[in-house]
């Protein structure tokens, strides 16, 4: 279960950020109090991740995590349990993007949908391209499960790499042909 908060670029947050390892590789995570505002899979630590965070939250007070709190946040996200965890997410986007991201969260674990399936579920069957664009702009990997959306052809891009997408889906019980 997720609670979404849509933030403007002028929002003043105290955001901590850091790197941590998970089952699917290294993550760059940013969080404010009890909310996650950025989660990307990365191949290596880079200043570009921090620059992207600054671009998204220019008015925020950013602080590098030096206490291993980032590791605790990531561990809490990726631990396999049968209980549902509640996460508060701070997002930046339009109302339409937020609707798409909410719809992604409604895709059951172990299932994949096409971009068209998402558009139809939103009662916007002709909005396939805008749905795809909103999915591509997702800044919270895994928790907003854009990995569960594949093209009708079965081929699908994933901003964090197709092998990682396949690995996540297989861990969720989906085996692509």
Question: Residue 11 pLDDT more than 80?
Answer: no
Hey, is 144 helix, strand or coil?
coil
Hey, is 20 helix, strand or coil?
strand
Question: Residue 26 pLDDT more than 60?
Answer: yes
Percent of the chain at pLDDT exceeding 90:
67
Domains of the chain as residue ranges with CATH: 2-88 (3.30.160.70), 94-171 (1.10.10.10)
Render pLDDT for 81-105 as a digit per residue (tens, 0 to 9).
Answer: 544 567 889 998 999 999 999 999 9
Active site residue 27: no
List 27, 37, 105, 146, catalytic entry: 146
CA of residue 14 relative to chain centroid, distance: 20
Q: Stretch 163-177: mean pLDDT, rounded?
A: 89
Percent of the chain at pLDDT exceeding 70:
95
* Cβ-contact 151, 128 below 8 angstroms: no
Which pLDDT belongs to residue 82? 46
| Residue 42: other Cβ atoms inside 10 A | 16
Render pLDDT for 114-156 as a digit per residue (tens, 0 to 9).
Answer: 999 999 999 999 999 999 999 999 999 999 999 999 988 777 7
Q: Give, in order, the Cα–Cα distances in Å from 150 to each of 41, 69, 72, 176.
A: 19, 33, 30, 10
Question: Residue 14 pLDDT more than 50?
Answer: yes
The model's pTM is 0.90
Which pLDDT belongs to residue 83? 46
């Amino acid at each position: 279960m997720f609670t979404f908060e849509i933030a403007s670029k002028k929002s003043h947050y105290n955001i901590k950020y850091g790197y941590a390892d998970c089952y699917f590789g290294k993550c760059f995570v940013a969080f404010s109090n009890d909310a996650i505002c950025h989660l990307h899979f990365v191949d290596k630590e880079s200043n570009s991740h921090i620059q992207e965070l600054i671009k998204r939250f220019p008015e925020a007070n950013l602080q590098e995590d030096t206490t291993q709190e980032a590791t605790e946040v990531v561990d809490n996200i990726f631990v396999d349990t049968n209980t549902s965890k509640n996460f508060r997410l701070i997002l930046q986007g339009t109302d339409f993007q937020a609707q798409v991201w909410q719809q992604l969260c409604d895709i059951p674990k172990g299932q994949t949908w096409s971009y068209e399936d998402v558009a139809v579920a939103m009662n916007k069957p002709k909005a396939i391209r805008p749905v795809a664009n909103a999915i591509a702009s997702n800044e919270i990997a895994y928790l907003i499960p854009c990995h569960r959306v594949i093209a009708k052809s079965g081929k699908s891009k994933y901003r964090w790499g197709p092998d990682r997408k396949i690995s996540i889906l297989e861990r969720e019980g989906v085996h692509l042909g």
